[in-house]
Amino acid sequence: MIFRTLVIASLACSLLSSEVLGVADKVIIKKSTRMLYLSFGGTIFNKYHVTLGQVTEGPKAFEGDMKTPEGVYSLDWRQDSAKFYKSIHLSYPNIKDKAHAKSFGKSAGGMIMIHGTPTNWSLSPLGDWMPMLTDWTEGCIAVTNDDIDEIWEQTNNGTPIVIIP
């Protein structure tokens, strides 16, 4: 009887913690390892391989520099995308990004997203994972379409995102 009670209590705790960990309270991207982490309460509960902008060193500074931003932003809106399956927008540029670009007489750019792969890549016999082995975006963070489905479901608008070198 005690064993049965312990098993039921253990299962209840597992179900409760997986429910709680179902939605991230923070997204972390580590550019050097090409990984996106979803965390809740300081515990990473999911991770995904990402590709970045074509120029991988340093933070995004100007529109068209092909770099992925670094800093603290938030996931602020999302859309189904005819070009990239699904995409979640980052609140880039922030005030600091805009001021930096303006000091050089340039625009900081915008429309930085976490997105899936181009829809025509799914027609390849290799699927959409093969091109994920190289950095190909104009500054966005790309994941496979299966991965963007999971990230989409496990984040909310307003979730902080921290992008580190």
pLDDT per position as a tens digit, 74-105: 999 999 988 889 999 999 999 999 999 999 99
Percent of the chain with pLDDT over 70: 81
Domain of 68?
23-164
Q: What is the pLDDT of residues 134-159, one digit of tens each?
A: 899 999 999 999 999 999 999 999 99
Domain count for the chain: 1
Can you give the CATH number for the domain in which 130 is found?
Answer: 2.40.440.10
Whole-model pTM: value is 0.82
- The b/e string for 42-60 (b: 16+ C-beta within 10 A; e otherwise) is eeebbebebbbbeeeeebb
Lowest-confidence pick of 7-11, 41-45, 94-98, 152-156: 7-11
